Amino acid sequence: RICRADFMHALENDIKPAFGISKEEFDSYISNGIIIWGQPVTDVLEEGQLRIRQTVKSEMTPLVSILIEGPPNSGKTALAAHIALLSKFPYLKFCTAQTMLGFSELAKCQQLKKIFEDAHKSSLSCVVVDELESLLEYAPVGPRYSNNVLQTLKLLFKRPPPKGRKLLIIATATHRDILEQLGLLASFSKVIHLSNMTSGRHIFHVLNEIEHCFNDNEMRVLEKKLHDKKVWIGIKALLDLIEVARQADESSRVPRFLGQLEEVAGMN
């Protein structure tokens, strides 16, 4: 016999909304969590929270859009997904060139239009538009890009939702100057720069947050070696180095890791 509990169970576990949030998808972009390694992360998160509040509360600005801009591997995608989840808005959608692989320009534009039209149907929506350069098919050689996608994005970023509805757009990009040239920067209420990690302390902070990597002795050595060093490395690249170090022999783990930091992060 089927009873109410079965329906509730199905609602919880089996039924995916036809449009709107798919939490697993968002989670997949934050596979290694969010480590608050320093002020740059705090700044982005605070701005994100401020903009969520603005979207919910303000009557004057039903459309709020932010751009998280930073070097490759700095954690843009994960932070954008994280802020979107923080909003707890009923309609969340993630647009990425990855899921539009092989789409024609026209199909891409239609897909983007559909996502925003669906967003306009919900009282509170948040749309993440990841890697603007990839969506625009930007290539520095030439340079080339899809003007159709550019015009579509410009219009979609400007179109306020119908009366009584609110929309928060969170975009990410790597090349601020290119977006500026394409006239896309002006579309955003706020452009937030996300920096790479710049000091050994940032790195040590991450090591502290990650379990089962280095033992207490190794951590003491690392703290001494790292504390006054300048570095330049993105969180994604650092997590990769840590993962490699984890697989190495205990005897060579620390020197190997430090050697990699010198090579990849310019530490000296």
Q: Which residues are at the interface with ligand ATP (CB under 6 A)?
A: 30-35, 37, 41, 72-79, 131, 174, 235-236, 239
DSSP code per residue over 87-144:
HT-SEEEEE-GGGGTT--HHHHHHHHHHHHHHHHHSSEEEEEE--HHHHTT-BTTTTB
Nearer to ligand ATP among residue 124 and residue 242 (C-beta): 242
227-to-140, 196, 202, 231 alpha-carbon distances in Å: 38, 17, 9, 11
Cβ partners under 8 Å of residue 56, min gap 6: 124, 166
Give the count of beta carbons closer than 10 Å to the beta carbon of residue 32. 13
Answer with the entry of ligand ATP, Mg ion, none that 222 interacts with (C-beta below 5 to 8 A by kind): none
Q: Binding of Mg ion at residue 77 (CB under 5 A)? A: yes
Nearer to ligand ATP among residue 34 and residue 258 (C-beta): 34
Report the nearest approach of Mg ion to the CB of residue 29 (Å): 8
Per CB under 5 A, the segment of 51-59, 71-79, 111-119, 251-259 that binds Mg ion is 71-79
Q: To 5 degrees, how large is the angle CA 72–CA 77–CA 81?
A: 165
Report the nearest approach of ligand ATP to the CB of residue 48 (Å): 11
87-to-154, 204, 208 alpha-carbon distances in Å: 24, 30, 28
Report the nearest approach of ligand ATP to the CB of residue 66 (Å): 15
| Residue from 168, 171, 156 nearest 61 by CA | 168
Q: Binding of Mg ion at residue 74 (CB under 5 A)? A: no
Answer with the entry of Mg ion, ligand ATP, none that 196 interacts with (C-beta below 5 to 8 A by kind): none
List the x/- string, 90-129, binding to Mg ion by CB under 5 A: ----------------------------------------
How many residues form the binding site for Mg ion (CB under 5 A)?
1
Answer with the entry of Mg ion, ligand ATP, none that 56 interacts with (C-beta below 5 to 8 A by kind): none
Kindly report whether the peptide bond that precedes residue 143 is cis, defined as omega within 30 degrees of 0. yes
Residues of the shown chain interacting with Mg ion in the complex, contacts defined by CB under 5 A: 77
